[in-house]
Amino acid sequence: MADKSGSYKRDTNYIQTRITRDGEDGYPVEAHRYRLAAARACPWANRALIARRLYGLDDVISVAMAGPTHDERSWTFDLDPGGVDPVLGIHFLRDAYNKRFPNYERGITVPAIVDERTGEVVTNDFNQMTLDFGTEWKEFHRAGAPDLYPEAQREEMDELMEFVFHTVNNGVYKCGFATSQEAYDKAYDELWSALDQLEKRLESRRYLMGPSISEADVRLYPTLVRFDAVYHGHFKCNRQKLDELPNLWGYARELFQTPGFGDTNDFVQIKEHYYIVHTDVNPTGIVPKGPALDGWLTPHGRDHLEANTWGDGGTPPPPPLKAEVVDPANTPLHVEGR
């Protein structure tokens, strides 16, 4: 987790198998064959859940929702009756990994896609996963699905997303899991330099790439929505709270209030995961009661900026499936499922 200097190093050696239209890796795009193993607590899984909703793939790719807490063995499906996922028939997500790769030695991570026919994990490459949802799965997109990864913007977007990953998405972890003052200070400075740059960028842009939502927004949002609840205190990213950064805070609030974003967030599960699982950072396991959530529903104040939220011809996604509606006690949103 941390190297000799005390700097946090994320293992990014994921299972790179892809589900593609041509099935070149042995896994062809096919409706009702694959199950997305996710957790509402996890920011990397959050982006997969958002993309799945925006593209309308929630009727095509089922979801297995793991609980917020686990031990070193694996994410677990303790939210389901008997603690067993009703489709995969397993309690530990590691069983799907081990079924394909016996004695799998790397981290058992979410999001992961599992082949329902075999019970074997297909991939846990979250970076490629959402890109494939937008391109390889296009024939199954809902009518009005947005193009979150337009070809004309890909070069700029790829560079921006790489920057956001290293300095912000993973940057908060570099702060929280640093084991030396020097490593923490370096990560903290990089994080806040990046957030200042994004604050400036959003001064004149409705979304990261312009007037429309893109893959870049899907990737930044999960970190922002967790910032005040977890990263500010738990990970010591405490120069300012998100609600003290007017452009980022307005941007995050607008996305939270946009269908497909805030309706994927369970703040209780988010806090339980970080404060209970990370015993090295929070040995008491005490979960804070705050912060208050009502601010997420206040006006975002960004209507003066040009907006074409869903792009030309795009429309908002329908409400979430009833089985996937977040517990109303754990979110300020009130959402009816379909």
Tokens of 107: 């981290």
Tokens of 153: 């913007």
> Locate tokens 């890909």: which residue?
154
Distance CA 58, CA 209 (A): 26
Active-site option among 34, 42, 184, 188: 42
Q: DSSP characters for 60-126?
A: TSEEEEE-S--BTTB-B-TTSGGG--TTT--SBTHHHHHHHSTT--S---SSEEEETTTTEEEE--H
If DSSP states are collapsed to H, E and C, what string results for 18-79? Answer: CCECCCCCCCECCCCCEEEEEECCCHHHHHHHHHHHHHCHHHCCEEEEECCCCECCECECCC
Contacts (Cβ under 8 Å, ≥6 apart) of 190: 167, 171, 174
Cα dist. 338→102, 130, 210, 329 in Å?
A: 39, 24, 31, 19
Active-site option among 8, 173, 188, 231: 173
Tell me if residue 175 is catalytic.
Answer: no
DSSP type of residue 1 = -
Q: DSSP characters for 168-225?
A: IITHHHHHHT--SHHHHHHHHHHHHHHHHHHHHHTTS-SBTTBSS--HHHHHHHHHHH
Tell me if residue 27 is catalytic.
Answer: no
Give the count of beta carbons closer than 10 Å to the beta carbon of residue 65: 22
Give the count of beta carbons closer than 10 Å to the beta carbon of residue 242: 23
Q: Which of the residues are catalytic?
A: 42, 173
